Structure 1
Amino acid sequence: MLANALGQDAYFQDKRILLLDKDPKKTNDRTWCFWERGSGQFDPIVAKSWNNIFFGGQVFSQQFNIEPYTYKLVRGSDFYQDHLQKINAYAHVDFIEEEVVGIVESKDEVRVSTAKNEYTSPQIFTSVFDFKTLKDQQKYPVLQQHFVGWLVATKEPTFNEDEAVFMDFSVEQRNNTRFMYVLPYSENTALLEYTLFSENLLPIDEYEKAIKDYLNLKYHCTEFEILEKEQGSIPMTSYDFQVHNTKRIQYIGSAGGWTKPSTGYTFYNTSKKIRDLIPLIKNNQPFTSLRSQRKFWFYDLLLLDILFSQNDKGQYIFETLFKNRPPQLIFKFLDEETSLWEDIQIISGCPKKEFIKALLGRLF
């Protein structure tokens, strides 16, 4: 996204821009989803969208119409093809498939080493994420949103293609926060992801068994073909990644703290951060303004404090919130666009005891 933004901006046409990646980006290795009001910049590559979502809990479950929002899905392969085609058209931008093995900053430049070459630049942006940085600190809790997904095709019509299963907490929680996420492309095709908000990953067969069991129990489906598989782990933390930025090295994406700590959503958040980043680069201004507003950072921190100490509370918190407040307000809150009055509405719709305890823990 950043390479494309720099390439299309006339201000950078006299610069040479290099994009390094160890992967050619030609496979569908991941899927991104996000909610958005109306049309947006990614609409040409949106593979599927929904105006209805389903939230499932242990006690409360409901279908919601989320207009004026639309929930949109972008396949990784479509995104790569679209953006690499644009990048290749910029004469001053090069994409080279090489793995970065070292970055060394000196007074006047940064030297980037790959397995094959060395490159120098006065400025680099890196999205290389080091999870060890988070594990080595104790100030902020660290969870992971980890998941395994199967894109399946069924023989019989199975899914409601007009409705995305946003969170289904009816699955066994096992002292964690666990839910199923279902994105139907059609009546016969859907991406199912078994997802956890927890500290540690599971053995791969536990995720896959959960998907099989869910297909059987929820859809009475035992015959299906697995078309694609994907898996991932996204950091969930209020840790300030910007402390690692230097004069010439800036961290972006999850490595720059652009993942929403309370949800793990990164794709759409990154597009907004890049829009704000470009004028900062042009005007040689510090990137501290890319941090979340202090209040939203603190809200996320309280939720993570709860989930870190009582990981089984996630289902109760989300179920209470979706029972008490409309998804439109929840989405606006998670987009960090709410007023103080709207914040109060969200807070009052959450369980009180857990958040008061977390608040007192942080204050005292």
Structure 2
Amino acid sequence: MSSKAFDYIIIGSGASGLQLALAMLRDTHFDDKMIGIIEKRTKFTNDKTWCYWETGQGLYDNIIHKSWNKGVFKANGETIPLNLAEYRYKMIKSIDFYTYAKSKIKTASNIQWIEDEITKSEENQDTVQLRGKHKTYSAKHIFDSRLPENYKPKDSINILQHFKGWFIKTEENVFNPDTFCMMDYDISDHEKTCFIYVLPFTKNKALVEFTYFSPEQVNEETYEHYIKSYLKEKLNLAQYQIYEEEKGVIPMSSHPFYKHHRPKITKIGTSGGWVKASTGYSFKNAERNSIKIINNIKEGKSPHHHLYDKRFKHYDKMFLDVLYNHNEYGQTLFYKMYKYNDISQIFKFLDEQTKPLGEVKMMLTMTSFYFIKALLKHIAQGFKIK
């Protein structure tokens, strides 16, 4: 079995692996470095959509499917307008991102795309040895998006963001393409945290999705029941065409993924804790963490040096504790957050770019008996993140 040597190897070509590869391509520091991307998939499909918010010009504005600077949040019979000000809420189809990234990588002389599945890794003094089903590989550092073998989610607080969505086309103009709906709790199972999410593309085309933040999944008929109810009761639609579907499960966990880093192996993506535990958003985190990794390497630091902020891990853990033990309270929790805080401040808080004083003020707007209970439990456990 032949072997290939690289400076860096990225295992997995999802959003995190590809964004890291693109970040390396953009920086001349890596022009003379050999980089391998090992992916077991042989075919890429439009398997998901990624949404995120940002200010100003973005790295991927040329491939976004749609963006919005206005939104709404609906709960308790209220419609709360979300004026995004300097922010825009952006959506990218995964197939467009895959195509864009692979086209950039294809033109790079120092990056090799490898179709293989890694079955074993061994960290030595100077390199990491990888065994694939077809060949063996070595690199000075590995960026690994696979979940850790000793990952034990049962030891942590775990919520699942699970959903199903329909891309629909209607004969009537029923959507406002300028305004997306972050959460609509008017049509939902009020015993759990679940809501309608709407991304309108035109006046008669939109993604309508039903989403849960809950410990357990539900069957597909449940998602479809609530989507149909929304279309009939809220939009008065009897006829519509479903031209595409999407469904998924995103882990929202307090698990300390950073503990799985090794001197020559950096965990990335979901396995590196790049999914924001309290929201399930990850695409923009992958961009930010890729830039941090690049800067760490250039400064002679470990690639995974300071990729997370412990302060926000504590916030996330308390949030997950409330949702796990009192899942029906989610609607009230999110209602308070959007009702009593400016959306720009919410985005900064979720991006972990706020100061402690502002964070305390925001937490006070959402405080409740359940939050105090979660805080006291967290204190009793010694502020451990797990």
Please say whether Structure 1 and Structure 2 have the same fold, judged by a TM-score greater than 0.5.
Answer: yes
- Return 5+ residue gaps in structure 1 as ranges: none
- Aligned residues with identical type, % of pairs: 36
Q: Distance in 1 between matches of 2:270 and 2:148?
A: 10
Q: Which residue of 2 aligns with 1:363?
A: 379
Q: 1:348 to 1:325 in 2, by over 3 A?
A: same
Question: Could you tell which deviates more after superposition, 104-113 or 261-270?
Answer: 104-113
* Residue among 15, 24, 43 paired with 1:6: 24
Instruction: Please state if 1:128 is matched with 2:146.
Output: yes
Correspondence 1:114-125 to 2 at 5 A? 114-125=132-143
Q: Distance in 1 between matches of 2:117 and 2:169?
A: 35
Q: Distance in 2 between matches of 1:25 and 1:160?
A: 35
Note if contact 1:7-1:92 (Cα within 8 Å) is conserved in structure 2.
Answer: no
Q: 1:7 to 1:38 in 2, by over 3 A?
A: closer
Note if contact 2:188-2:226 (Cα within 8 Å) is conserved in structure 1.
Answer: no
Note if contact 2:72-2:81 (Cα within 8 Å) is conserved in structure 1.
Answer: yes
Q: Distance in 1 between matches of 2:132 and 2:47?
A: 23
Q: Which residue of 2 aligns with 1:64?
A: 82
Q: Distance in 2 between matches of 1:87 and 1:174?
A: 47
Q: 1:209 to 1:96 in 2, by over 3 A?
A: farther
Q: Which residue of 2 aligns with 1:260?
A: 276
Note if contact 2:333-2:366 (Cα within 8 Å) is conserved in structure 1.
Answer: yes
Question: Could you tell which deviates more after superposition, 85-94 or 319-328?
Answer: 319-328
* Displacement of 1:191: 1.0
* Residue among 31, 34, 37 paired with 2:55: 37
Instruction: Please state if 1:96 is matched with 2:114.
Output: yes
- Give the letter for the 1:49 counterpart: S
TM-score (norm: length of structure 1): 0.93
Correspondence 1:214-233 to 2 at 5 A? 214-233=230-249
Q: Which residue of 2 aligns with 1:289?
A: 306
Note if contact 1:273-1:290 (Cα within 8 Å) is conserved in structure 2.
Answer: yes
Q: 1:335 to 1:68 in 2, by over 3 A?
A: same
Q: Deviations over 1:163-200 (max 9, x none)?
A: 10111122222522101111011111111221111111
Instruction: Please state if 1:51 is matched with 2:69.
Output: yes
* Displacement of 1:47: 1.4
Q: Distance in 2 between matches of 1:73 and 1:56?
A: 21
Q: 1:273 to 1:53 in 2, by over 3 A?
A: same
* Residue among 191, 195, 212 paired with 2:207: 191
Q: Which residue of 1 aligns with 2:197?
A: 181
* Displacement of 1:343: 1.3
Q: Which residue of 2 aligns with 1:152?
A: 168
Note if contact 1:17-1:92 (Cα within 8 Å) is conserved in structure 2.
Answer: yes
Note if contact 1:176-1:198 (Cα within 8 Å) is conserved in structure 2.
Answer: yes
Note if contact 1:236-1:264 (Cα within 8 Å) is conserved in structure 2.
Answer: yes
Q: Which residue of 2 aligns with 1:239?
A: 255
- Give the letter for the 2:73 counterpart: F
Q: Distance in 2 between matches of 1:247 and 1:214?
A: 50
- Return 5+ residue gaps in structure 2 as ranges: 1-18, 381-386
RMSD of the alignment, in Å?
A: 1.8
Note if contact 1:148-1:230 (Cα within 8 Å) is conserved in structure 2.
Answer: yes
* Residue among 74, 81, 85 paired with 2:103: 85
- Give the letter for the 2:263 counterpart: K
| Corresponding residue SS for 1:166 | strand
